[in-house]
Amino acid sequence: MQPLILSAFTLINCLGRGLDATLAALREQRSGLRHCDFPDAELDTYIGRVEGIENEPISGRLSDYDCRNNRLARIGLEQDGFARAVENARRRYGPDRIAVILGTSTSGILETESAYRRRDPETGALPPDFRYRQTQNTFSVGDFTRRYLGLRGPASVVSTACSSSAKVFAGAARMIEAGLCDAAVVGGVDSLCFTTLYGFTALELVSSTACRPADADRNGISIGEAAGFALLEKPACGDGDIALLGYGESTDAYHMSSPHPDGLGAGEAMHKALQRAGVDPRAIDYVNLHGTATKANDAAEDKAVSAIFSAAVPCSSIKGWTGHTLGAAGIVNVIVSCLSIGESFVPRSLNTERIDPEMASWIVTQELRRPVRTVLSNAFGFGGNNASLVLGKRS
């Protein structure tokens, strides 16, 4: 495929606002996870909560879109000069030629949860100030983002659980190749809510400690929230040192929530990404794992990764730093991969103390300082939705 330049990108998560905050935490070996202090959620687990969202409502012309998910999106768009970069692109291409393709899993469902708590006690009616279309609807964050950035190109929101904001890169690449747009704002937003906190607890998938990907004693995920965005452009038009080189997608067709135990779908996605990028597995300098810290997911991904890379390529998961940000997990991995390439380091799997002896991959437990030119980044979701991306330095 024709590489696409990431001419601007940004990230907000529990490590802080903007690229510098995330990079500083990674270099200082500082996790953003904390014992659950989400209001009204009395759970013995750790979460990755972004500070201050509750006090930063959306006001003005887009006030109807005010909800935790869109607040997170708005704060993210204002980091690292991202909105300004899109404004410049809008001048070059025109607002009709820039697409917005985002991923989310639960969107603003917290707003609906709140509305149900305030139902009329006699009629059961939802409160009149509840705005489903602008808040909980899956397209809400896409609609908000395009309006906030003043864009009028094609727009869509992908919701394939935890692969959502990785699959958007594939969708954008196809859309640009087809000539439907000249550039695309891609990314994902997912915010904390009771549905995920209590839902994953009911599935017995959350850990009572900060999560430990690939650890022999791992016992589940830590749920987090994040927003991340990237501006994709053709090489002839975009400035930037990092490019999307390839993407691969697959479905397990195996189980509603469990991955294929041999990681067949995951392996297929990685193979397709490498093939589309024209990159040999030996040229990959780092594999940024999906690495949720559940027994089944880590084991399946390890089988897929080790079958392609053996133990020759360093691998790590970012979940011990940020938590599992669900629909935003793909873009979080992409941005961390960009930091790895730009700063020449491989972050370690935080909290991983005793690697599961069943793991065959090279799990990095101490930061590596080395040149990183090409990264394979994974995001795998419920239902066996798999997406892998190859990112690398612009050649």
At 111 the three-state DSSP class reads helix
Strand order from edge to edge, sheet including 46-48: 34-35, 46-48, 223-224
Asked if residue 214 lies in contact with residue 129, where contact means CB atoms within 8 angstroms, the answer is: no
Q: What secondary structure letter does DSSP report for 126?
A: P
Asked if residue 271 lies in contact with residue 248, where contact means CB atoms within 8 angstroms, the answer is: yes
At 115 the three-state DSSP class reads helix
Query: Could you read off the pLDDT tens digit of each residue along the chain, which spans 395 residues?
Result: 999 999 999 999 999 999 999 999 999 999 999 999 999 999 999 999 999 999 999 999 999 999 999 999 999 999 999 999 999 999 999 999 999 999 999 999 999 999 999 999 999 999 999 999 999 999 999 999 999 999 999 999 999 999 999 999 999 999 999 999 999 999 999 999 999 999 999 999 999 999 999 999 999 999 999 999 999 999 988 789 999 999 999 999 999 888 999 999 999 999 999 999 999 999 999 999 999 999 999 999 999 999 999 999 999 999 999 999 999 999 999 999 999 999 999 999 999 999 999 999 999 999 999 999 999 999 999 889 999 999 999 87
What dihedral do alpha carbons 317, 86, 183, 172 form, nearest 10°?
Answer: 30
CATH number at residue 114: 3.40.47.10
Q: Is 35 noted as a catalytic residue in this protein?
A: no
At 108 the three-state DSSP class reads coil
Q: 67, 290, 315, 338: which is the annotated catalytic residue?
A: 290
Q: 36, 67, 315, 324: which is the annotated catalytic residue?
A: 324
Instruction: Please give the tally of structural domains in the chain.
Output: 1
CA-based torsion, 307, 311, 312, 316: positive or negative: positive
Q: 14, 162, 211, 315: which is the annotated catalytic residue?
A: 162
Name residue 392's amino acid: G
What dihedral do alpha carbons 40, 44, 50, 52 form, nearest 10°?
Answer: 40
Q: Is 324 noted as a catalytic residue in this protein?
A: yes
Helix (H) or strand (E) holding 309: helix 295-309
Q: What is the pTM of this model?
A: 0.97
Domain that holds residue 100: 4-394
Q: Is 290 noted as a catalytic residue in this protein?
A: yes
